[in-house]
Structure 1
Amino acid sequence: MNATRKNRLLLLNILFLFTGILTTPFIFGQNNNLVTIGIPDTINANPNAVLKAYNSTIDFPAFIDWDNNGILLNGGTVIYKMNRPNGSITEKYKMNQGLGDYLSPDHNSFLFLEDTNGDERYQLFLHSIKTGINTVITEIGTRSTTPFWKPDSRQILYKSNARTDRETDLYLRNINPPYNDTLLIQNITDEAVIYDWDVRTNRILFVKIISENNKELYRYDINTGELQQINSGKEIAHSNAMFLSDSDTILIVSDEGSEFQHLMLYNYKTGTSRKLTNEILWDIDAISMASKGHYLAFTVNENGYSALYRMNLTDFTYKRVATLPTGIIRNLKINRNGNAVAFNFYGSTFKRKVYTYDFEKDQLFQWTNKNGSKKTDFAFIQARSVSLPAYDPIINKNYSIPAFLYEPKTSGKHPVYIDIHGGPEYQALPFFNKWHQFLVNELGIAVIVPNIRGSNGYGKSYMKSDDGLSRENAVKDIGILLDWIATQPQFDKERIALFGESYGGYMVLAALANFPDKIRCGIDVVGISDFVTYLEKTADYRKELRRVEFGDERIPEIRDFLLRISPVTNVNRMNSPLFIVQGYNDPRVHYQVSEQMVQSLQEKGKTVWYLGAKDEGHGFQKSENNNYQKNAEILFLTTFLLPKTN
């Protein structure tokens, strides 16, 4: 064992022993708003000093927009300006309000959302950067989300369920008096996305979400109310769209006729389309284009990593930027002149960098860290892509399960921590994760982050392969992963822990029931233990989309299936200690879904820890609660995972 890591692990154990944590019997207790079962009451909400040290040494303020020839950066309550790479960083605006996600195009104000203790009933606020005044736009108790600025900064679009709790509508609002909120489109769906707003014609492009594989694309004329669906009658997942300069042609990102998201041209007048990116066999992730210039920038998701491309809009030829290092691109945005693009860049060993790419020079520029480099006495572990061979006997087909692996540098057999993403249609990506780095470096635990069937990024067939009655395909993939671990000499197959949030929490519970002798312990955060209770109690605005994914519990045969595969039905098959975490204001997975699982485990005499927070929703966001959760997770793993069996 590395001496530095050994000393840190010793320090952790001393801290636990000093506070009496390791010898305190399980109790039921309540600490302010935290409700606990089984967790030693001496755990506190102070941040773990060792875990806190695992902040990234490279954490550049996030790029938010271009400003003339320079860029603007989000410093929380400060907006910074830089004019050139490696130049000085200066303060442009200092605010009394943390910068929201939606900065106006003219940089005079921004929009932000606030809910109450994680209930996700967001109110929308407008903050004036010059005056510091906040203006409430929507009513408390309603849910308003994803505002979209008109390019001239005079109006916004936003979604709200103010008319009825079950449906989400699209509203238009003036930023200056008279405000005149106007209901534009009813039942646009809760997860609908606005893609573009053409100032010349006052038309917008948006998608209405029917399912992850069916996202209907529309053009809407705000002046006339005319609504036109594009590619009507087809089940297509449209993921982006932008107006070209002639307003009758748009660029679309969709999976029409393909396993993957590709770029295509669509002409309104003729109703014809043309695919532009035939050679790219991965999903196009993001696109950006300016009203001026001749270039489009787009990114491609290649097995979780970003590739950057530029496209010439005169002939639609495209070229990959060869100099981009390995990482993930977010917030891709071309400047107003259309001659350069900027973006945030992420990796498994650093939190964030900022890059720009000059189209004419064909040159990539990295911008400098604001605070310079910090020194640490440990090295972050680079994520390694692995592909697990698998076979589905039902369809008689071979396939692969992609995953990211973080391995300790020390020798010997390592315990394994499997982190399963939620969604289920999400994709786990190799972003910097200080918790993963802590587990690997301090506790000597290997971390595996899989993208099992149902994940996006690997073709629509792969994403659809766990829908409805095929739900247990994803559970089978965890079994394949467990078998693969047993064949790897660097892993200890007797010491495997599972972790998952939301749908990932369901996967933890289902795996514990299906593979009870292969898993040492599990941590379930806001997970689904009972699909019927989950679907009946999830927020009204979410029900229909979730029923498309999991099945409609109102249909008797579907209800029977959902009850059969629900973990709460299969508690008898579980042998491993389990830690369940739940927020009491969760609108997605109702707290009773977790509490009934705890009760069932207790009735069967199973080992279960429970942590509930009265001021949290779908996952813990408050630092004190999060610190308590992490301290409890460390103790849980050191108690149940790390000790070796004889």
Structure 2
Amino acid sequence: MNPAMIPLVVSLMTGQVAPAAPAQAPRSETQAPQKPSQVPGIAALPGQPNLWVSNVPAVPDAFRRRMEQYLEARSAGLTDIRDDGKEMLIVTRFADTNQLHVVEMPMGARTQITFTKEPINQAQFQPGNARVIYYLQDTGGGEFFQVFRLNRDTGRSELLTDGKSRHQSLQVSSDGRWLTYSGTGRNGKDTDVYVAPTSDPRQARRLTQEEGSWGAIEFSADGSKLLVSQYRAIDDVDLYVVDVATGERRPLTPQGQGKGGVTTARFARDGKSVYVVTDRYSDFAELYQVDLDKAPPATPPESLTKSVRWNVTDLSLSPDGRRLAVSFNEDGYSKVSLLDTRTRKLSPVDSLPQGLVFGVEFPRQRSDMLALTLADAKSPMDAWTLDLKTRKATRWTRSEVGGLNPDSFAAPTLVRYPSTDGVQVPAFLYLPKNATGKVPVVVIFHGGPEGQSLPSFSTFAQFAATELGMAVLVPNVRGSDGYGKAYRAMDDGVKREQSLADIGATLDFIASRKELDASRVGVYGGSYGGYMTLASVAFFPERVKAAVDVVGISSLPSFLENTQAYRRDLRRAEYGDERIPEVRKVQERISPLGSVDKIRAALYVQQGANDPRVPQSEAEQIVQAVRKRSPDVWYMLATDEGHGFQKKANRDFAQLTALMFFERQLSSPAQPKP
């Protein structure tokens, strides 16, 4: 999905601007650090003062040694390719955080070009001058991203934005003249679209100044027009074309005629029409062409991908305008096809390895090459190109997995099982090789809620299956994306109560499998997956032994009241408005915090102190409530992280201790004495 279309989703198994932190007097050597938490017994971790823990025991050296190689796995994600296709800009990690690197040939060296303490995950070459790069970066995981410009000749980066507002949707026009991004600088709540000349990028002006969340998608080839989205919810997005010079805005999607999501959009080469990926006219996100002089269309346009009944996830138009690269999500796996824009014939590309495809892009001056990121369950993300003349795929990077043999890893199997309301829950099941007897199970719930668990490489899942001999089950419960908008909407608002039945269905599926031990089940999840984790132990207390909640929601009403203001209305569209008494009543009934007296499972909670999405208070209120009857709850707080853990040392500790926790709680039961 184009990052311009939705708020950034931090990788987890996806308002009012927070003021800059005030300057503090330096702390003396003997002065004790101020506690960042109200949880009793919390203390800074020796050697890692940014990590604070309570009840978390030290990791045994033997366990750490077993996992060290898994923790050294890295990935390489494509962020851009040079105009002529002869240099890639990638994100990878060789130290503590993801940084920008360039690769000049297939399997060439990764040359690092940024060296900062904070991660960088989105960047773009300036078209026509690859010595200039624009990128987004935040501080401490707070997601108040700033726009920077890197001059590769000097090696210096300069800040282009205000240093305090939140920015996203970074794009540069294909002629290299214009820079655009969106930001909350006007009032800290609404997200406006800005545009600036690259010759003087600090002279940005607003193209939109409206209530809500607006984002830039793409400039027309001549740079005169800009596609802009207004995002209210994943199923309620409007698309506009804006004149860059005057700010005049015209709708491309029907107004006042029902809702529809928009995944991404691209201008045709002549600028007279737009290719739009939307689920407005179908249960799935399909590709349509909309003529600007007839927009918004009075009747549904013809789908260009109606032969494929799955979501279109990504789109790229060749510089000559003759081909569209179209990526589909087919039951969790990626398929790429090429659409001839003259004949509208769709041709599958069969030469790519099976797995997941992200970010398909044509170089700006090459119509015979496609650049993309590929991954699968046994291999991390890597950058590839596809020669469209020969259909030969060429690998540009090969990411390491700590020296381990990927052939030893577990491959997931796609399964389905029934739930209530006729729902069939799709899930990926990882089974340990050569297991004998019933094995314990860890269920991993994705975030979102409109996320989707994919068969991607996971050090967590592979270590659990390969080293600990545990099965890993990764379900896509109702409300997940990827299976049609009707399935995705099945948990909206007060319907979320019905989605809890999918937890029970998941546990029933485990009990139905002869190789899985239903008496040794653990649950793990981040963000909304953290809510599902807590809901599992609160509402199915006798069926779950252990749970790890990562930046999870413990109370839906307090979460909605305390999430950042720029997100609040977006989340109310998904969870329901807590200000409406009858809605709040349901939210309170299905909030784990209200049922802590039922929780029997061992619990470990992990949180980032700077989380703008699910604030620290959500973690601490559940920890303190459960401790009233079970004082051994584990708690970890990272003071330099937000919605998840992006710094390697923090992520390593979080994964090490989570897997150690599951090993302790789900290890084989004692054998009866003879």
Note closer, same or farther for the CA distance 1:372–1:454 as it changes in structure 2 (3 Å cut): closer
Note closer, same or farther for the CA distance 1:149–1:368 as it changes in structure 2 (3 Å cut): closer
Work out which of the residue numbers 437, 440, 450 in structure 2 matches 1:415: 440
1:289 Cα shift?
0.7
Q: Determine the structure 2 residue equivalent to 1:13.
A: none
Note closer, same or farther for the CA distance 1:33–1:387 as it changes in structure 2 (3 Å cut): same
Q: Which amino acid aligns with 2:43?
A: G
For the residues of structure 2 that align with 1:370 and 1:377, how far apart are their CA atoms?
A: 13
Work out which of the residue numbers 13, 27, 34 in structure 1 matches 2:51: 34
For the residues of structure 1 that align with 2:548 and 2:401, how far apart are their CA atoms?
A: 35
1:189 Cα shift?
3.9
Q: Determine the structure 2 residue equivalent to 1:639.
A: 664
For the residues of structure 2 that align with 1:69 and 1:615, how far apart are their CA atoms?
A: 37
Q: Which amino acid aligns with 1:29?
A: A
Q: Determine the structure 1 residue equivalent to 2:4.
A: none
Note closer, same or farther for the CA distance 1:283–1:197 as it changes in structure 2 (3 Å cut): same
1:52 and 2:68 correspond: yes
For the residues of structure 1 that align with 2:193 and 2:574, how far apart are their CA atoms?
A: 24
Q: Which amino acid aligns with 1:65?
A: I
Secondary structure of the residue that 2:230 maps to in structure 1?
strand
1:364 Cα shift?
2.5
For the residues of structure 2 that align with 1:91 and 1:516, how far apart are their CA atoms?
A: 49
Q: Determine the structure 1 residue equivalent to 2:31.
A: none
- Offset from partner CA, 1:500-552 (integer Å, 9 cap, x none): 10110000111111111111110001110011111111001000000111111
Secondary structure of the residue that 2:302 maps to in structure 1?
strand
For the residues of structure 2 that align with 1:205 and 1:92, how far apart are their CA atoms?
A: 34
Q: Which amino acid aligns with 1:166?
A: K
1:257 and 2:281 correspond: yes
The more displaced of 145-154 and 434-443 is 145-154
Note closer, same or farther for the CA distance 1:186–1:315 as it changes in structure 2 (3 Å cut): same
Q: Determine the structure 2 residue equivalent to 1:226.
A: 248
Note closer, same or farther for the CA distance 1:93–1:153 as it changes in structure 2 (3 Å cut): farther
Secondary structure of the residue that 1:401 maps to in structure 2?
strand
Note closer, same or farther for the CA distance 1:182–1:378 as it changes in structure 2 (3 Å cut): closer
Q: Determine the structure 1 residue equivalent to 2:414.
A: 386
Note closer, same or farther for the CA distance 1:471–1:372 as it changes in structure 2 (3 Å cut): closer
TM-score, structure 2 length as denominator?
0.85
Q: Determine the structure 1 residue equivalent to 2:22.
A: none
1:452 Cα shift?
0.5
Q: Determine the structure 2 residue equivalent to 1:496.
A: 521
1:619 Cα shift?
1.7
For the residues of structure 2 that align with 1:373 and 1:170, how far apart are their CA atoms?
A: 40
Q: Which amino acid aligns with 1:449?
A: V
Indicate conservation of the 8 Å contact 1:56/1:350, yes or no: no
* Mapping 1:344-363, distance limit 5 Å: 344-361=373-390, 363=391
For the residues of structure 2 that align with 1:586 and 1:418, how far apart are their CA atoms?
A: 24
1:115 Cα shift?
2.4
Q: Determine the structure 1 residue equivalent to 2:358.
A: 330
Work out which of the residue numbers 174, 180, 186 in structure 2 matches 1:157: 180
Note closer, same or farther for the CA distance 1:517–1:322 as it changes in structure 2 (3 Å cut): same
Note closer, same or farther for the CA distance 1:495–1:371 as it changes in structure 2 (3 Å cut): closer
Work out which of the residue numbers 315, 318, 321 in structure 2 matches 1:290: 318
1:558 Cα shift?
1.3
1:202 Cα shift?
0.9
Indicate conservation of the 8 Å contact 2:80/2:89, yes or no: yes
Indicate conservation of the 8 Å contact 1:523/1:580, yes or no: yes
Secondary structure of the residue that 1:315 maps to in structure 2?
coil
1:309 and 2:330 correspond: no
For the residues of structure 2 that align with 1:60 and 1:37, how far apart are their CA atoms?
A: 35
Q: Determine the structure 1 residue equivalent to 2:649.
A: 624
The more displaced of 232-241 and 280-289 is 232-241
For the residues of structure 1 that align with 2:162 and 2:400, how far apart are their CA atoms?
A: 44
For the residues of structure 2 that align with 1:382 and 1:44, how far apart are their CA atoms?
A: 25
1:205 and 2:232 correspond: no
- Offset from partner CA, 1:379-433 (integer Å, 9 cap, x none): 443433333231434xxxx231111111101222111011100000011111111
Q: Determine the structure 2 residue equivalent to 1:537.
A: 562
Indicate conservation of the 8 Å contact 1:388/1:400, yes or no: yes
Q: Determine the structure 2 residue equivalent to 1:132.
A: 155
For the residues of structure 2 that align with 1:356 and 1:33, how far apart are their CA atoms?
A: 40
Work out which of the residue numbers 52, 63, 70 in structure 1 matches 2:86: 70
* Mapping 1:442-457, distance limit 5 Å: 442-457=467-482
Note closer, same or farther for the CA distance 1:60–1:143 as it changes in structure 2 (3 Å cut): closer
1:439 Cα shift?
0.8
For the residues of structure 2 that align with 1:63 and 1:223, how far apart are their CA atoms?
A: 28
The more displaced of 212-221 and 136-145 is 136-145
For the residues of structure 1 that align with 2:262 and 2:294, how far apart are their CA atoms?
A: 20
Work out which of the residue numbers 477, 495, 498 in structure 1 matches 2:502: 477
Work out which of the residue numbers 180, 194, 203 in structure 2 matches 1:180: 203
* Mapping 1:606-625, distance limit 5 Å: 607-625=632-650
Q: Determine the structure 2 residue equivalent to 1:240.
A: 264
Aligned pair count?
610
The more displaced of 321-330 and 94-103 is 94-103
For the residues of structure 2 that align with 1:71 and 1:46, how far apart are their CA atoms?
A: 42
1:450 Cα shift?
0.8
For the residues of structure 2 that align with 1:223 and 1:581, how far apart are their CA atoms?
A: 48
TM-score, structure 1 length as denominator?
0.89
For the residues of structure 1 that align with 2:427 and 2:439, how far apart are their CA atoms?
A: 18
Note closer, same or farther for the CA distance 1:48–1:551 as it changes in structure 2 (3 Å cut): same
Q: Determine the structure 1 residue equivalent to 2:308.
A: 280
For the residues of structure 1 that align with 2:60 and 2:470, how far apart are their CA atoms?
A: 24
Note closer, same or farther for the CA distance 1:344–1:34 as it changes in structure 2 (3 Å cut): closer
For the residues of structure 2 that align with 1:641 and 1:402, how far apart are their CA atoms?
A: 25
1:599 Cα shift?
1.4
For the residues of structure 2 that align with 1:118 and 1:69, how far apart are their CA atoms?
A: 33
For the residues of structure 2 that align with 1:422 and 1:258, how far apart are their CA atoms?
A: 25
For the residues of structure 2 that align with 1:348 and 1:514, how far apart are their CA atoms?
A: 31
For the residues of structure 2 that align with 1:372 and 1:436, how far apart are their CA atoms?
A: 17
Work out which of the residue numbers 108, 111, 120 in structure 2 matches 1:89: 108
Note closer, same or farther for the CA distance 1:57–1:100 as it changes in structure 2 (3 Å cut): closer
Q: Which amino acid aligns with 1:239?
A: T
Gaps of 5+ in 2: 1-39, 93-98
For the residues of structure 1 that align with 2:582 and 2:227, how far apart are their CA atoms?
A: 39
Note closer, same or farther for the CA distance 1:161–1:45 as it changes in structure 2 (3 Å cut): farther
Note closer, same or farther for the CA distance 1:286–1:374 as it changes in structure 2 (3 Å cut): same
Q: Which amino acid aligns with 2:184?
A: N
For the residues of structure 2 that align with 1:497 and 1:306, how far apart are their CA atoms?
A: 29
1:321 and 2:321 correspond: no
Indicate conservation of the 8 Å contact 1:108/1:130, yes or no: yes
For the residues of structure 2 that align with 1:502 and 1:434, how far apart are their CA atoms?
A: 19
CA RMSD of aligned residues (A): 2.6
The more displaced of 632-641 and 424-433 is 632-641
1:245 Cα shift?
2.7
For the residues of structure 2 that align with 1:370 and 1:428, how far apart are their CA atoms?
A: 24
Q: Which amino acid aligns with 1:125?
A: F
Q: Determine the structure 2 residue equivalent to 1:516.
A: 541
Q: Which amino acid aligns with 1:35?
A: W
Q: Which amino acid aligns with 2:649?
A: E
- Offset from partner CA, 1:64-93 (integer Å, 9 cap, x none): 3145253425364541211xx6xx726788
Secondary structure of the residue that 2:88 maps to in structure 1?
strand
1:54 Cα shift?
2.2
For the residues of structure 2 that align with 1:640 and 1:516, how far apart are their CA atoms?
A: 15
Secondary structure of the residue that 1:470 maps to in structure 2?
helix
1:171 and 2:187 correspond: no
For the residues of structure 1 that align with 2:399 and 2:201, how far apart are their CA atoms?
A: 44
- Offset from partner CA, 1:107-165 (integer Å, 9 cap, x none): 12222233232222222211111122211111222112231111122321111111111
Q: Which amino acid aligns with 2:275?
A: L
Work out which of the residue numbers 361, 364, 368 in structure 2 matches 1:339: 368
